[in-house]
Structure 1
């Protein structure tokens, strides 16, 4: 293993920079009297701060309109219980998970993109597991490959998979363990 050479530059009596040369790699260090970097907010903190700022700007009338739309989307989703699952299905008699969510919110006057990942990216208002309310869209698995519509009291309506039908289910530990995010459309 090769040892490096140390070089020190002096500017006005203070060390300006120290460089360590190890083979072909050149590492630079900040001056000794440099200020410590400011604390940077982590992603969850940033998301909650952004949601709080967004919620503060949303008027009471707009919040009421969103709540009304959410109730209509949930009501529409309830009417689809028993319909067949079909990959790529967007209704009216067969659905996949994102097609059901998009169709329900479309009937409530809110247009959403087609796929689960696109919906999650497009809807700016993110929600926690505990913060979910009627009409929120819950996403599951690492790639957000499945979703359902939260209907309150620990239940969601979703189009599960091939050979099954749209149904209302209890959100148990399995779903909590595989939860990967939630959004609130309609703002």
Structure 2
């Protein structure tokens, strides 16, 4: 958690990539970078994350079994994949959300649990 604690509490802003404001994809790119993994910058805002992720889904591997840290956590909140978080282990994830900014939440929370589409890792890593 020490790698990400400075991000918690930052504001949400559509299209923002930090350091003071983040959207969900920009935050995911930054967190993976802090773990030494470069993600493609699809330049997506939260409303188009579904299209960008779907177009590039072949680059990602869906996790089965134990979920590694970090893993991309994809949510379906409006009938399409439209939100991204990063799994941190122990049932927790971090994400940038319009109503709360950057927060750590639980995957078993009633709102998020039923909206999890899947966990993914970059398929281009060894």
Same fold (TM over 0.5): yes
Whether the aligned pair in 2 keeps the contact of 1:86 and 1:94 (CA below 8 Å) is yes
Deviation at 1:160, TM superposition (A): 1.1
Unmatched segments (≥5 aa) in structure 1: 1-73
Partner of 1:165: 101
Instruction: State the SS of the aligned residue for 1:140.
Output: strand
Alignment partner of 1:112 is 2:49: no
Deviation at 1:124, TM superposition (A): 2.3
Alignment partner of 1:127 is 2:51: no
Partner of 1:98: 25
Distance in 2 between residues matched to 1:75 and 1:87, nearest whole Å? 25
Unmatched segments (≥5 aa) in structure 2: none
Alignment partner of 1:136 is 2:64: no
Are residues 75 and 135 of structure 1, via their aligned partners in 2, closer, same or farther at CA, if it must alter by over 3 Å?
Answer: farther
Find the structure with the greater CA-based Rg. 1
Q: Higher helix share goes to which structure?
A: 1
Deviation at 1:150, TM superposition (A): 0.5
Instruction: State the SS of the aligned residue for 1:184.
Output: strand
Are residues 136 and 109 of structure 1, via their aligned partners in 2, closer, same or farther at CA, if it must alter by over 3 Å?
Answer: closer
Higher relative contact order (CA 8 A, sep 6+): 2
